[in-house]
């Protein structure tokens, strides 16, 4: 029977019951048993705290193998006094089977276990990984900086576009305003030039001349460095270019640089055209002796007024011309243009006189009106002023 141990003798008898041998034998087995019991506990604790470990079944086989080995040593202590050799034999058989399975599995896993990197290789791989991480972080930092720069540039370009759109809207409104003004001026000039005209050719010459003065003024502003203004000297030169080419040194132009907006350039060009036309018909340029001097200067403000600009036209008339100069006549459209319409539009004043053989015409306007900075009263009122309604002319 497996549970009948009477036929056997305890292992202690083989040791002659020597106390020191019993202590040596039993103590060694006890120490081995305790160690073999604690090692599986440590392995199980590792498995419980590291669920990500590979080859968990191999570790469990080692736990079983070591635990069974520990149990065989514990039974060896018991057999010193109690001969339970059949149980010890079955326990050893179980230990042998588990050991054999563990050995077979371990040999099959040798290639995988050998391929596991050594700590030095793991350290090298970790260092390379750290370097790659640092490189990626540097790249990300550059990308973030590029993104910030791009966002800032986009924001700046968006602001520039907004400013450009706002400027374009202002320019568009300004162009509409100027075109309406120009149409009003052209219409008024056509109506006024047609008054009291009986000769078609004379009417056409007068009308075309005035239209050309407007075109020259507008072209001078557009061809300048700015789309909003031109230098006053360029406006005067452009308007008087045919006269200067024809009469040469008899025409003198002088004055400091002054910006002239499109409206100021148009009105001054109209005035210069009337003065030059009258001079060629009746005045200094109708003979071989007369001269013309055109000048302008800034006038000192008085009584708290704003800065002014004074434009002067001086004609030295031959004695044969005298007071018969047609420009001195009153009531015609040319006179109203010079003395009322042009100064009114530019919010200034004008004066014309004849003394000591010299015809003088002075136009004084605010510098703000020259640059186009005065408050507008609307296209309709401008057309009304051009038509002469402010002066009692239907």
Q: Which one-letter DSSP state was computed for residue 284?
A: G
CA–CA distance, 31 with 312 (Å, rounded to integer):
128
pLDDT of residue 154: 92
pLDDT of residue 217: 53
Q: Which of 260, 358, 371, 282 is nearest to 313 (CA)?
A: 358
Q: Is the pLDDT of residue 190 over 70?
A: no
Q: How confident is the model at residue 390 (pLDDT cuts 50, 70, 90)?
A: very low
What would the pLDDT profile of 316-331 be if each residue is shown by its tens digit? 887 666 545 544 455 5
pLDDT of residue 262: 80
What pTM does this model have?
0.47
Q: What torsion, rounded to 10 degrees, do the Cα atoms 240, 242, 248, 252 define?
A: 0
Q: Is 8 helix (H, G, I), strand (E, B) or coil?
A: coil
> What Cα–Cα distance (Å) separates residue 80 from each residue in 16, 24, 76, 89?
11, 12, 7, 15
pLDDT of residue 380: 41
If you average pLDDT over residues 254-276, what whole number do you get? Answer: 87
Q: Which of 215, 208, 205, 251 is nearest to 235 (CA)?
A: 215
Q: What share of the chain is helix, strand, coil (3-state, %, to 5)?
A: 70, 10, 20
Q: Which of 91-95, 225-229, 296-300 has the highest mean pLDDT?
A: 91-95
If you average pLDDT over residues 148-157, what whole number do you get? Answer: 91
CA–CA distance, 394 with 387 (Å, rounded to integer):
8
CA–CA distance, 358 with 355 (Å, rounded to integer):
5
What would the pLDDT profile of 101-130 be if each residue is shown by its tens digit? 988 988 888 888 777 777 888 888 888 989
């Amino acid at each position: 029977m497996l549970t009948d141990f009477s036929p056997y003798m305890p292992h202690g008898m083989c040791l002659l019951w020597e106390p020191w041998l019993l202590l040596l034998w039993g103590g060694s087995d006890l120490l081995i048993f305790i160690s073999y019991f604690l090692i599986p506990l440590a392995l199980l604790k590792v498995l419980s705290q590291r669920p990500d470990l590979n080859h968990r079944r191999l570790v469990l086989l080692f736990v079983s193998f070591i635990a069974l080995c520990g149990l065989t040593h514990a039974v060896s202590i018991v057999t010193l006094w109690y001969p339970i050799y059949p149980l010890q034999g079955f326990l050893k058989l179980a230990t042998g089977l588990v050991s054999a399975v563990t050995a077979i599995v371990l040999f099959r896993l040798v290639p995988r276990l050998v391929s596991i990197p050594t700590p030095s290789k793991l350290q090298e791989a970790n260092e390379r990984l750290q370097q790659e991480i640092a490189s990626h972080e540097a790249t990300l930092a550059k990308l973030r900086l590029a993104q910030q720069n791009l966002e800032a540039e986009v924001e700046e370009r968006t602001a520039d576009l907004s400013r450009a759109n706002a400027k374009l809207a202002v320019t568009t409104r300004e162009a509409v305003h100027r075109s309406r003004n120009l149409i009003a001026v052209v219409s008024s000039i056509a109506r006024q030039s047609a008054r009291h005209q009986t000769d078609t050719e004379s009417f056409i010459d007068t009308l075309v001349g005035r239209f050309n003065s407007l075109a020259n003024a507008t072209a001078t502003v557009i061809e300048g460095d700015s789309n909003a203004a031109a230098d006053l000297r360029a406006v005067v030169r452009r308007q008087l270019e045919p006269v200067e080419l024809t009469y040469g040194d008899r025409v003198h132009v002088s004055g400091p640089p002054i910006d002239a907006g499109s409206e100021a350039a148009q009105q001054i060009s109209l005035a210069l055209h009337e003065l030059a036309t009258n001079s060629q018909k009746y005045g200094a340029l109708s003979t071989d002796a007369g001269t013309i001097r055109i000048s302008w200067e800034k006038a000192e403000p008085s009584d708290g007024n704003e800065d002014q600009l004074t434009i002067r036209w001086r004609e030295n008339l031959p004695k044969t011309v005298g007071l018969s100069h047609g420009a001195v006549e009153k009531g015609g459209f040319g006179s109203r243009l010079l003395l009322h319409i042009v100064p009114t539009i530019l919010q200034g004043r004008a004066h014309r006189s004849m003394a000591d053989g010299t015809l003088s015409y002075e136009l004084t306007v605010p510098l703000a009106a020259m640059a186009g900075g005065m408050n507008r009263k609307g296209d309709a009122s401008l057309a009304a002023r051009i038509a002469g309604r402010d002066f009692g002319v239907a």
